[in-house]
Structure 1
Amino acid sequence: MIGLTGFGGYIPRLRLSRKSIADTNGWIQPGLKGLGKGERSICNWDEDSVTMAVEAARDCLHDRDNAEIRAIYLGSTTLPFLDRQNSGIVAAALNMDESLSTVDITSSQKAGTTALSTALDSADSSDGKEILVLASDARHTRAAAQQEMIFGDGAAAFTVGSKGVIAESLARHSFATDFVDHYRGENRSYDYNWEERWIRDEGYLKIMPQAIDKALAKAGIDAASVDTLIAPSTLKRVPEKIAQMTGINADALADALDGRVGATGCAHPLVMLSHVLESAKPGQIIVVASFGQGCDVLIFKVTNAIADRQPQTGISGYIARRQEETNYNKYMAFNDLVEQEKGMRAELDNQTAMTQLYRRRDMLLGLVGGECDVCGTRQFPRSRVCVNPNCNATNTQKPCNFSDTPAKIMTWSADHLTYCPDPPLHYGMIQFEGGGRFLANFTDADVGHVGTGQDVKMMFRVKDFDNQRGFRRYFWKAAPIRTSEESKNG
């Protein structure tokens, strides 16, 4: 039996009120006011498709051995590097064994489902290992564009294999045609969108029902027996029409998360699938369809193992971990929609030494430190000499991964002088459970809600940008954990 063996996801903490977008841009686009309900997820300034993919993978693999993974397939249309393997960065951040295959799949809104379908085709029941499938998108739009109201940022993760299958793959069908509903050409930052009625009538309503019908026929399943249909579309009433045309019950349509997250690009069908699996019951039939220069359809049957493979936080948990953002100007700044005067302190040369990045990749990307074999002292970074003054043994440190180790804030500062895209810059000394400490930058930190002794979670983020050369450097930051009561009180 081949199918899904685990799942997870990630939604950024920040939620931009759609009303703030409409209030700012309604003078030039009055039609935006009709879309001004709810909120959408937005990346912090130090998040992108790679960092979201890492967090989704951690959510999926929280109780798993990374040695079980033999390949990583990453689907995205917003990869930060055009000529550097982005899935390779993810593998390094997850501290994966380097004897694995990494693949980037892009250039279509069905890149996420294509990655999953390819993994299911490639899964081998003989070796017992799994393929990690990731889909992540942070789509950019022009200010005041309708898509700015509709889109959201997010990622999903799945493992595919033959052991501990939680959702058996029953059938798959793909349909490829160069139907151009939108495109983004070379050296262009934003999509060019075609007319909505044409996309609806000639695209979704002719292509998707045909593909779903063929997939159901392959699986030998009657449409009326489908428990959940995932068929996301940014066009109103299209999912309902597709359900009607295929004979699937309208009440089988999955929550599209429109009012809380938005459409997360090629990740969205898999974000919805991850969300559905959180409450799925054994025996349920799930149909996943995605549209983009054709259509992918995947059909799964939930097994009894679903209760044993739940994510650490899940899409629902990350939706609940929200911080409202009403400052549209901050969103514009984070997405380079406005040119700002950053001041002299921002005039730094952030060139990365590629030699050091490679030689110390386990430390810089995987947050791997050391643990002394003699006295058990942990430290970051790893060095030849143990930092314990009562030991000082040399060449005794074995690798120790700190990325998933709980930690607390020992000391902290909020720096208003050093340049930061979202001032003040919070940083401080953190102490890891079981030993080890280092001076870390903080992320997702709220002014007035950072304190000594506070728990933090390590998160993979963008450290800084080298705008002269088009390079971005990644590292781990400490995210202060606020209690539910603190979050309620703002």
Structure 2
Amino acid sequence: MVGITSIGAYLPIYRLSSDDIAATWGGRSNRGAKAVAGYDEDTVTMAVAAALDCMEGGGIEPDGLSLATTTAPYREKQSVAIIASAVDLPQETRTADFTDSLRAGSIALKAAVDAVSAGSLDNAVVVAADCRLGAAKGMLEQSLGEGAAAVAVGSKGVIAEIEGTYSIFNDFTDYWRAEDDTYIRTTEQRFIDEVGYLPTMQEAISGLLKKYQLDINDFSRIVYYAADARQHATLARRMKLDKDKVQDSLYQAIGNTGTTAVLLMLADSIEKAKAGDRILFVSYGDGADAYCIKVTENIQKFQKKPFITDKLAGKIAINYGQYLTWKNLVDVEASTLPERPALSLPGRWRERRAIAALYGVKCRKCGTPQIHQLGQAIRVCVNCQARDNFEPYKFSDKKGKLFSYAIDQLQPTQNPPGVNGVIDFDEGGRIICELTDCEPDKVEVGMPVEMTFRKMFQSRGYYNYFWKAKPVE
């Protein structure tokens, strides 16, 4: 039996109301909200969070990792290699990026299923993440949200068996983005629905049912992609689907998260399913992939902790001005402080384990962990003074408490003021780092924190990622 063995999800804590956007331009609101990646988040950082959630939730040690996205930070560089380093996978892990289609997530999922079925991989994790932009004053600006989801595929401890799949391609142009485009382009909606989306989805679903001799009534839950809530409802009416079985698109709460959207719907559906439920799962984009998925008895141990429902609400509302600033869509006054020096790629390579997975050292004699400043190797134990007697020790998965902090009104950041803190890890060790995902007036000494992988700045086209601390959720 091959199927899903664990699920993870990550949604930014920030929400932007459609009413706020509409009020700025004097247009119509879709009455929802969308999840917005923080100023220091992008496809890679959200994917790291979702992958860790998936791996920790299922106790997964993958030998394969794939990223599905339409918004990779680099034109030429494997993004999933950054993610694999951050989640601290062995160098022998098979990595692959699946890009340029909203169907990339389900394509990557099928590749993972095939690899596990063939025995070339034991445990494969597929993570999807997107940060798509819609142009100002358009409905896409209101509807496109941001987030990440991850699924693990294996043959042991399966919570949802992949019983079968059916795929078709369709060279139909409805949503696209060229090399130099910042925003998603689209065409007339009725043309998309009647010529592209609806026929393609109907053909994929009918093909799956015919291939496996199934009826639509054999499914307890129906999960499928649509561009928006209207299109989602249109397909349900066209195919006369039981509305009680159709999975909520989640678009009113978090927006359309691109490649991530249908995987988040699947996570929500499996979270609420019971053993024996059969799920129809269909993705769309330049064709469609249809899956027949059956929930197993193993689901009971996973449903003790929600996959996604606890993440939907968000915590901090932002305004439209913050959104424009974070996405670099408006020019703002530059900082008067000296510019950061250019990144040293050789220096980052030498410190790659400390940067990627926040490695320090642990004294072999007394067990005291320490984390060093980059470029300054530790040779003497701070506790027992033993010399050159250390083993590697990872801090990125450790929690701690805020020992002290400072609020910097002049710090060059897209979300002023800057908040910097001294973190004492619960199991020993101390680090000075930035704090994120927090409201300055709610920061207090003794606050529990955890580490999170974030984007620091860009230098010569290279993205500098490192770890920050954030309040424990």
TM range (shorter): over 0.9
- Separation in structure 1 between the aligned mates of residue 367 and residue 195 of structure 2, nearest angstrom: 65
Say which of 288, 299, 304 aligns to 1:306.
Answer: 299
Q: Give, in whole Å, the separation in 1 of the partners of 2:307 and 2:381.
A: 38
Matches within 5 A, 1:379-394: 379-381=370-372, 383-389=377-383, 391-394=384-387
Change over 3 Å in CA distance of 1:415–1:235 after alignment to 2: closer
Structure 2 unmatched ranges of 5 or more: none
Q: 1:80-479 alignment to 2 at 5 Å? A: 80-124=73-117, 126=119, 129-246=122-239, 248-310=241-303, 314-325=307-318, 327-345=319-337, 348-381=339-372, 383-389=377-383, 391-466=384-459, 469-479=460-470
Residues 44-59 of structure 1: matches in 2 within 5 Å?
44-59=38-53
Q: Aligned partners of 1:105 and 1:17: how far apart in 2?
A: 31
Q: Report how far residue 117 of structure 1 moved.
A: 1.3
* Offset, 1:280: 1.4
Amino acid at match of 2:168: F
Letter in 2 for 1:154: G
CA–CA separation in structure 2 for the residues paired with 1:20 and 1:400 = 46
Give the aligned residue type for 1:15.
R
Structure-1 separation of matches of 2:276 and 2:213? 15
Letter in 2 for 1:338: V
Confirm whether residue 18 of structure 1 aligns to residue 18 of structure 2.
yes
Structure 2: which amino acid aligns with 1:242? L
Distance verdict in 2 for CA 1:264–1:410, change over 3 Å: same
TM-score by length of structure 1 reads 0.92
Name the amino acid aligned to 1:368: Y
Give the Cα separation in 2 of the matches to 1:350 and 1:19.
Answer: 41
Tell me the number of residue pairs that the alignment of Structure 1 and Structure 2 aligns.
470
CA drift at 1:396: 2.0
Q: Quick one: structure 1 residues 318 and 253, their matched pair in 2 at CA, closer, same or farther if it must change by over 3 Å?
A: same
- Which deviates more, 354-363 or 377-386? 377-386
In structure 2, give the amino acid aligned to 1:480.
Answer: P
Do the aligned partners of 2:6 and 2:57 also contact (CA within 8 Å) in 1?
Answer: no
Does the aligned pair in 2 maintain the 1:70–1:100 contact within 8 Å?
yes
Segments of structure 1 that go 5 or more residues without pairing to the other structure are 483-490
CA apart distance, 1:242: 2.9
Whole-angstrom distance in 1 between the partners of 2:197 and 2:419: 47
Find the aligned partners of 2:239 and 2:345 in 1 and give their Cα distance.
53
Letter in 2 for 1:61: M
1:462 aligns to what SS in structure 2?
strand
Question: For the structure 1 residues 211 and 455, does the alpha-carbon distance in structure 2 shift closer, same or farther, using more than 3 Å as the test?
Answer: same
1:7–1:60 Cα contact (<8 Å) kept? yes
- Name the SS for the 2:41 alignment partner: coil
- Counterpart Cα distance in 1 of 2:11 and 2:461: 26
User: In the TM superposition, what whole-angstrom CA distance separates every residue of 1:246-292 from its partner, at most 9, and x where no partner exists?
Assistant: 46423211011121101000110101111212121111111111111
* 8 Å contact from structure 1 (residues 384, 394) kept in 2: no
Q: What is the one-letter code of the residue matched to 2:42?
A: D
- Give yes or no for contact 1:377–1:386 (8 Å, CA) kept in 2: no
| Deviation readout 1:340-389 (Å, 9 max, x if unpaired) | 112322x5145221112222111101011111111000111394424324
Query: 2:304, 2:465 → 1: CA distance?
Result: 25
**1:70 alignment partner in structure 2:** 63
d(CA) in 2 for partners of 1:237, 1:144: 19
Measured in 2, the distance between the counterparts of 1:321 and 1:332 equals: 19
Cα 1:322/1:216, change in 2 over 3 Å: farther
Aligned Cα RMSD in Å? 1.8
CA offset at residue 239 of structure 1? 3.0
What is the alpha-carbon distance in structure 1 between the residues aligned to residue 406 and residue 378 of structure 2? Answer: 31
Do 2:409 and 2:417's aligned partners in 1 also have CA atoms closer than 8 Å? yes
Shift of 1:175: 0.7
Q: Is the 8 A contact 1:239 1:253 kept in 2?
A: no
Aligned letter for 1:337? Answer: L
AA aligned opposite 2:129: S
Counterpart contact for 2:229–2:249, Cα < 8 Å: no
Are residues 344 and 57 of structure 1, via their aligned partners in 2, closer, same or farther at CA, if it must alter by over 3 Å? same
- Counterparts of 1:328 and 1:126 in 2: how far apart (Å)? 49
Please state how far the C-alpha of 1:195 moved relative to its aligned partner.
0.7
Q: Which amino acid aligns with 1:88?
A: A
TM-score calculated relative to the size of structure 2: 0.95
